[in-house]
Chain A
Amino acid sequence: MSDPVTIIANWLEGLLLGWGLSPLLATIILNAIGILVMAALLLVLDIFLVWVERKVVARFQDRLGPNRLGPYGLIQPIADVIKLLIKEDITPRGADRLVYNLAPILTLATVLLLWAVIPIMPNVVGTDLNVGILYLVAVGAIATLAIIMAGWSSNNKYALLGAFRTVAQMISYEVPMVIALLIPVLLARSMGVSDIVYSQEVWYILVAPAAALIFLISSIAEIGRAPFDLVEAESEIVAGFHIEYTGMKFGLFYAGELLHALTIGALFAALFLGGWSGPGVQAVPVLGVFYLLIKAFFIYWVIMWIKYSLPRIRIDHMLNFNWKFLTPLALVLLLATAIADKALEGSTTVVYILVMLGLNIVLVLGALALARGYASKERQRVGEPKPVARPPQPTVIEQS
């Protein structure tokens, strides 16, 4: 009884084969059921996430949050969904109808696709791709495309501006993210997410904390959450790419963003926090889901904490931070980790962790010192008095 997923799958397979179906057809049906159940569970979890998000932001802002519908306002998200469903569905004039309707679906679908490679408990994973990490990057590329499609097809200048910003941001932040993802790959000697989870005898956040931090920052930029929410900066371009969407189409973007944040949490957990591993998992594999969700929700909470604590950064700062700080730091970290990992071959685990941790801390402190020097120079440059344009003084004509 310790591993219900495997038991149910075996039982269903036996049942289907007993009906006289061919093994291939049985496998296809089983896979389809698996995909359906996983997607349905995630989407139901997504409704719950709306409540989590509203409650947590309320605590951060010293409010109570939804508390009228049901105990602790738990029925509030259902009411939100009903409200979104019965709103008028508007397609703006001149919009490209097919692309316009496809974009929100694609946005949510790409987030669900990410779960295909996240192992949820021992031996239970959608598909154990041996190129899992690259797959994550590829799906991220499709997510960028969905936002461009939304921005372009809306036939709205602000939406198009939002799409341009998205491309600038998502493509730039993909670079440090990919390099940071290479570090767990390097440590686990495998690109499969399952293998990375299995090889984490010590959590990689201890061995590669800087890579974990870079992954978290660039992931937040990929989701487009504050402080990287230039994509939908309400004070500048109203709502960016989803300005024209109403009702449930907007709801899909919103749900996609929330679920993406949790997915990033699950990915972070799988890559740096040991995934489903925890005490007692070998005996009772179901506990793995529980551990993974705890870790994922913790990271989700960190992402919310960052979102509601930091102001939006300016677009040039956003790009400078990426290209002049994160990318070089990630590159140096990758080289240093590779060399140190080779040099420490055969040393004990404690020594290995301590040296790796020390290396990470030294590199990050060095990078921060460089950034501080640059910042003080920049402050001086900005602080210098600048020539100010003044209107020409009008000559006053005395009227007699």
Chain B
Amino acid sequence: MTPVQILFILVAAVTLGAALMVVNARNLVHAALWLIVSFGGVAVFYAMLNAGFLAVAQVVIYIGAIAILMIFAIMMTRNVAGDSSPRFNSSQIIGLVLALALFAGLVWMTLSWSGATTTPMPLDSRADPISQLGSALVSPDGYVLAFELASILLLGALVGALMIAWDRK
């Protein structure tokens, strides 16, 4: 095994273990903290795939914004942060079946894809992925439409939040 494979297995174990703890922790704040560990593991995967920008964006957005918002909401809610909340509800069997079916489907799809068994080509070390990503996002042959649509969606969400919080006198 190459060192990269060992690292991959270690990080995957931590990520999956943390993800399991998210649904298994009795305390909601603990669940949120485990979720952060899981997010961090995904960021390490991105970094191992030479996608530094995605790795850092994962930390900024998922850990820096979403997880902190989640912890904040949990701490603000009365009586939720205690240890008493039940871990399972009545639909656990259905959930288990659905999760297994989804996992099996993903494994089957990955195995039937020809790219899964070929070794990846080495990246061109001279190319700057950041500037390529930047020009792809705003060039007309690239993703400018999707990019602008996403911007409008975010702006709409921003204005909506402002309208909800507006103090009408």
Q: Which residue numbers of A lie inside 8 Å of B, CB to CB?
A: 24, 28, 96, 99, 129-131, 134-135, 137-138, 140-142, 144-145, 148-149, 152, 160, 163-164, 167, 171, 174, 191
Contacts and interface: CB of A to CB of B under 8 A. Distances in A.
A134 B56 contact: yes
B56 A138 contact: yes
Given A142-B63, A174-B64, 20 more contacts: A130-B52, A130-B128, A130-B129, A131-B56, A131-B130, A134-B57, A135-B56, A137-B64, A138-B56, A138-B60, A138-B63, A141-B63, A141-B64, A141-B65, A142-B64, A145-B36, A145-B68, A152-B81, A164-B72, A191-B130
B71 interface: yes
Interface in B41-68: 52-53, 56-57, 59-60, 63-65, 67-68
B154 interface: no
Nearest to A149: B33
B64 A138 contact: yes
B130 A145 contact: no
B100 interface: no
6 contacts: A96-B30, A129-B52, A131-B52, A134-B60, A145-B71, A167-B72
Nearest to A134: B56
B166 to A, nearest CB: 14
3 A-B pairs with least C-beta separation: A141-B64, A138-B59, A134-B56
Given A99-B33, A134-B53, A152 B63 contact: no
Interface string B66-87: 0110011001000001000000
Contacts of B63: 138, 141-142, 145
Contacts of B29: 96, 99, 152
Interface in B11-49: 27, 29-30, 33, 36
A134 B128 CA distance: 16
Nearest to A135: B56
Contacts of B3: 24, 28
Nearest to A102: B33
Contact of B53 (A131, A148, A152): A131
Nearest to A142: B63
A137 B33 contact: no
Interface centre among A135, A138, A167, A191 (most CB of B within 10 A): A138
A178 to B, nearest CB: 9
B67 A145 contact: yes
Contact of A141 (B27, B59, B75): B59
Contact of B68 (A130, A134, A138, A148): A148
Nearest to B57: A134
